[in-house]
Amino acid sequence: MKTKVLDTLERPLRDLRISLTDRCNFRCRYCMPEEIFGPDYSFLSADKILSFDELERLTKIFVSLGVKKVRITGGEPLLRKDLPLLIERINNIEGVQDIAITTNGSMLKTYAEALYNAGLTRVTVSLDSLDDARFRQLNGNRGKVKRVLDGIQAAADAGLKVKVNMVVQKRKNEQDILPMAKYFKEKKHILRFIEYMDVGNSNGWKMEDVVSKKEILDRINAQMPLKPIDPNYTGEVATRFQYEDDQQEIGIISSVTDSFCANCSRARVSAEGKLYTCLFATKGFDLRKLLRTSDDDQVVTQKISDIWNHRTDRYSDERANHAPHKKSKVEMSHIGG
Ligand code: SAM
Ligand code: SF4
Ligand code: SF4
């Protein structure tokens, strides 16, 4: 039976983001800076992470509450062994209309075909620069541009629709906006520019490091004119634009300068099974404990429904009122983007 749940701002629960692991083979400075996530960092042990059985059970419960779209993320989700098996299991859940993964692309060449065969239709690949030296600086000296581009090509060849995410930071990679736009326009993959966000507590975020949606648009427009296009659906995270000459699309995710909390329908489950109702939350609810102590799905369903009913989150709308770094926010690598 399906029950639609609404939060205190009348927002339905429609999207579920599942982080499969808190581990990653990159050390992007804005997400897992090396000096914090170094050799001594204690990552979650296998028994603390939700199993595929638990994830399938949980997804079914979320679907019964209105979830239609599932995004698999991390850490780096491709580090999770047998990921295609999980994709297949989630894809077979009646009511899941869309399943996607977000990945750094470094292992995509190896897994693209298996993921497609498991029922995945689309993938989002993160890439912040086409310049190898700059890319390595941004990812903690771990990933090479060519490897990610090969992953993107393999995904497209396998039949997956590809979107590319680029986080833009002042003085770090703003010079890459135009080269990235030109490259992916030609390749016909949708490129989405993401404003650098104050997620977690470890990246030392400052407002002056943000390149705004307006600045990004101005830079592209000056060389390659764009026009706005309608959202695909209510609550779409990216604002969409099309090049005037060839209809190729780009998107901008402007959590900082043009927030979109009013339509936020996303629940997030961290690798250790905590439920977060906002990317900037300070506290999550321990679903793992509930799943491991109760066989009764109704108990879990009721708890999630209660949490969603009481949800008031609108962090980005209220960002200016928050004292940055005063509160302990969950890290991006725990709950995924
Ligand atoms: N490892 C995968 C990847 O990089 O695609 C999935 C997890 S990663 C946390 C998900 C997305 O969040 C990536 O596109 C990444 O660039 C973005 N991200 C991480 N930290 C961010 C920040 N502080 N501001 C904006 N986007 C961020
Ligand atoms: Fe890893 Fe993705 Fe975070 Fe980069 S953004 S450190 S690739 S989880
Ligand atoms: Fe949703 Fe929180 Fe982001 Fe607002 S700040 S859009 S409520 S995740």
Count: domains in the chain: 1
Nearest 5°: phi and psi at 102?
Answer: -115, 125
DSSP string, 262-278: GG--EEEE-TT-EEESS
Cα 62 from chain centroid (whole Å):
18
CA atoms of 108 and 152, how far apart (whole Å): 7
For range 133-152, the mean pLDDT:
97
Give the structural domain span for 240. 15-335
CA atoms of 97 and 192, how far apart (whole Å): 22
Residue 135 in contact with residue 183, Cβ under 8 Å? no
Ligand nearest to the CA of residue 319, numbered in listed order:
3
Name the residue with the closest Cα to ligand 2, atom 8. 75
Residue 4 falls within a domain, yes or no?
no
Residue 328 falls within a domain, yes or no?
yes
Q: Identify which has the larger pLDDT, 16 or 204.
A: 16
Ligand nearest to the CA of residue 74, numbered in listed order:
1
Residue 10 falls within a domain, yes or no?
no
Give yes or no for residue 255 having a pLDDT over 80.
yes
Domain of residue 132, CATH code: 3.20.20.70
**Ligand 1 center to 31 CA (angstroms):** 7
For range 81-93, the mean pLDDT:
97
Instruction: Lowest mean pLDDT of 33-37, 173-177, 183-187, 270-274, name the range.
Output: 33-37
Residue 239 falls within a domain, yes or no?
yes
For range 48-64, the mean pLDDT:
98
pLDDT, one tens digit per residue, over 314-336 is 999 998 777 554 567 888 877 77
Pocket test for ligand 3, best of 275, 280, 282 (most atoms within 8 A of CB): 280
Distance of CA 261 to CAs 56, 255, 267, 315, 319, Å? 28, 9, 13, 8, 11
Q: What is the pLDDT of residue 324?
A: 53
Q: What is the pLDDT of residue 1?
A: 62
CA atoms of 148 and 125, how far apart (whole Å): 8
CA atoms of 205 and 279, how far apart (whole Å): 15
Q: What is the pLDDT of residue 293?
A: 97
For range 75-92, the mean pLDDT:
97
Name the residue with the closest Cα to ligand 1, atom 17. 337
Give yes or no for residue 101 having a pLDDT over 60.
yes
Q: What is the pLDDT of residue 87?
A: 98
Q: What is the pLDDT of residue 138?
A: 96
**Ligand 3 center to 195 CA (angstroms):** 14
CA atoms of 21 and 41, how far apart (whole Å): 14
Binding residues for S-adenosyl-L-methionine are: 30, 75, 126, 197
Q: 126: part of which helix (H) or strand (E)?
A: strand 122-126
DSSP conformational letter for 319: G
For range 205-212, the mean pLDDT:
95
